[in-house]
Amino acid sequence: MTRKPRLICVAGARPNFMKVAPIIAALKARDIFDVVLVHTGQHYDPDLNDRFFTDLGIPQPDYRLEVGSGSHAVQTGTVMIKFEPVLDEVAPVAVIVVGDVNSTVACALVAAKKSVPVVHVEAGLRSYDREMPEEINRVITDSISDILFITERSALDNLRREGVDEKRVQFVGNVMIDSVLQNVRRATSAATTLGDRLPAGQPYALLTLHRPSNVDDPVVLRSLIDCMAALSDRLSIVFGIHPRTRSRIEGFGLSDLLAKSGIISCPPFGYLEMLGLIEGAKLVLTDSGGLQEETTALGIPCLTLRQNTERPITIAEGTNYLVGNDPAAIVRAVDEVLTSGGKTGRQPEFWDGQAGERIARALEQAYLT
């Protein structure tokens, strides 16, 4: 029997998992490639990792690189060193990388230097802020990718500006939204997730923070906790705390402030819990990229606590507002949303649950015809 051509799909960190799930499902349904899932181990805590595999029904990885945490150089370099022998052994027709984390750029670099085609899913997004490590990962990954799948049309303008050949770019929509639409009916209700930590029927805002710009500076982090504490007099604040943020809170001596703040502190949520919490929230306060898109898909107002976004369609067409991290601006924006109900938004083009299928079709054309 002839062997099916192999495709490596790379996943490393939490925001990758909801992107690879629909791609793997669509490829497996066609049954024309052998899909080899490589998990770099950038994220390893069960809260950021195992629960997502279970919630999203992702098959167990074929290879685990177990790179763990480290500086950007150590983490990126370790992924590269550990990925190279896997790439040699598997000998795929292409390597699929998603998003903008260190694992994305590391595996793309290894593949490109071995003349193995790189497929980048969620290409062309730009914040134009090189202080964000992800922006550097995006620019480098796109510059060495052979097929660039984009989630919104503005990404094509960004790629054109960087001289990327348009023939390599395909607008397929947003795989992250495939996952939202496939799973929202199974979402865990906020009442189940929060139990007696949130009185029944009490309105709440959902908060997540993990970007260096918000959590690495003690003055900024303290001012954000103070701001959320003040807001929690008006509506409950449910805070899912990323391990990186937890360690900063402890390291900066802010644990007491948080404990006394009235904020409902929780460990990071699983995927189905997160969907339920977004759906039930009055609004979401976040510096995450993915939540900006998920709130648009679910029609829930989102206040992004950053100075810029690489996902402008969530503002132009969706429910997102760019607020920054100045407490006065945050309070004003919350007031506006609570008074007006916030933007209702509309579904951006191709955020329709079919992006994984479009990608599978395009890969079949690219590597099998």
Cα gap 71→186, rounded to integer Å: 37
Check: CB of residue 144 under 8 Å from CB of residue 112. yes
Cα gap 281→205, rounded to integer Å: 5
| Rama region for 253: left / alpha / beta (φ>0; ψ in -120 to 50; rest) | left
Q: Which stretch binds ligand UD1 (CB under 6 A): 10-18, 121-129, 152-160, 296-304?
A: 10-18
- List the structure tokens of 263: 């904020």
End-to-end CA distance of the chain: 20
| Rama region for 324: left / alpha / beta (φ>0; ψ in -120 to 50; rest) | left
Site string for ligand UD1, 105-144 (x = CB under 6 A): ----------------------------xx----------
DSSP letter for 166, please.
G
User: Binder to ligand UD1 among 101, 108, 206, 274 (CB under 6 A)?
Assistant: 101
Residue closer to ligand UD1 (CB basis): 101 or 112: 101
User: Binder to ligand UD1 among 14, 19, 39, 358 (CB under 6 A)?
Assistant: 14
Per CB under 6 A, does 311 bind ligand UD1? no
Per CB under 6 A, does 43 bind ligand UD1? yes
Per CB under 6 A, does 252 bind ligand UD1? no
User: Binder to ligand UD1 among 61, 218, 243, 262 (CB under 6 A)?
Assistant: 243
Check: CB of residue 86 under 8 Å from CB of residue 114. no
The least CB distance from residue 246 to ligand UD1, in Å, is 8
Q: Which of residues 183-222 bind ligand UD1 (CB under 6 A)?
A: 210
Coil, strand or helix at 317 = coil
User: Binder to ligand UD1 among 8, 13, 21, 297 (CB under 6 A)?
Assistant: 13
Q: How many residues bind ligand UD1 (CB under 6 A)?
A: 20
Per CB under 6 A, does 69 bind ligand UD1? yes
The contacts of residue 3 (CB under 8 Å, 6+ apart) are 34
Instruction: Compute the radius of gyration of the chain from its Cα atoms.
Output: 20
Which residues of this protein are in contact with ligand UD1, per CB under 6 A?
13-15, 42-45, 48, 69, 75, 100-102, 133-134, 210, 242-244, 247
